[in-house]
Structures are given as C-alpha cells and as structure tokens.
Amino acid sequence: MNVIESLFAGSSFVRDRLVVPAELLMTDFAHLFTVRDGVLLAEDRHGNAIYSPSRPGERASFEEAIEILVNASPDRDELLRQEVASGGKAITRAEFESMPAATRAEHFRSGGTVHD
C-alpha cells in the first residue's frame, strides 16, 4: 500500500463522514494527491493548490484537503453521510411534507432537519 492509499484507508473524515468506502473514493480523488520530497501536495480539479483553512499559507493536510474536495464535488450529497440530529429534531421528508407551513417553519427555526 502506498502513502496515498494509506491516507485514504486511515482517514477519519472518510470513515466517519462519508457513505462510500475509501477504495471507491480513491478512484475519483487519489489523482489529486502527490507526495514530493516527503510532503503531501493536494490540488483541486483545476490544478490549484489546496491550502489549509486553519493554517494560512500552508498546504492542507490530507484530512483538510479531502474534506475540501468532497465539499466541492458535484456528488457531495451522495458522498456525505446525512447527519441526523438527536433529540427528535430529525424527521423524514414525508413527515415534513405533511406538516402545515407554520409548523414546517418552526421545525427549522428550532434546529430541526429533514432526511430522506
């Protein structure tokens, strides 16, 4: 297993936040990562370097870069695991559509979510 495969396999973002396994994600994203002189370099689909949002001026870590790439992907909604809120704030789309408009608005104001 090479360095990039190891990063995908060991990624907490991939494991915890995505619905697809690392092996499938690699088919679309691995070519955007390279290792030069022992340093991981990530680029977006246009060839632009990806920089860390938390360390201005520094290249993004693997975790930062894969999250940025997934969030920018047109397939983002199919890749990300839907987060279901605790405390009964998550309802199904059918439940949401059966509510009156005022109740729908209140559901969102109180932090509720809708999932399929």
Residues 70 and 88 in one domain: no
pLDDT in tens, 51-101: 999 999 999 999 999 999 999 999 998 898 876 544 557 888 888 788 788
| One-letter identity of residue 8 | F
Structure token digits, residue 17:
């936040």
List pLDDT tens digits, range 13-66: 999 999 999 999 999 999 999 999 999 999 999 999 999 999 999 999 999 999
Can you tell me whether residue 44 is helix, strand or coil? coil
Task: Kindly list the distances between the CA atom of residue 114 and the CA atoms of 71, 85, 89, in Å, as whole numbers in the listed order.
Answer: 20, 9, 8
Residues 61 and 17 in one domain: yes
Structural domain for 37, as ranges? 3-79
| Residue 87 and residue 62 in one domain | no
Distances 26 to 13, 62, 75, 95, 104 between C-alpha atoms, Å: 13, 13, 14, 36, 39
Q: How far apart are CA 3 and CA 63, in angstroms?
A: 14
Q: 113 and 73 in one domain?
A: no
Q: Are residues 69 and 97 in the same domain?
A: no
Total domain count, the chain: 2
Q: Model-level pTM?
A: 0.70
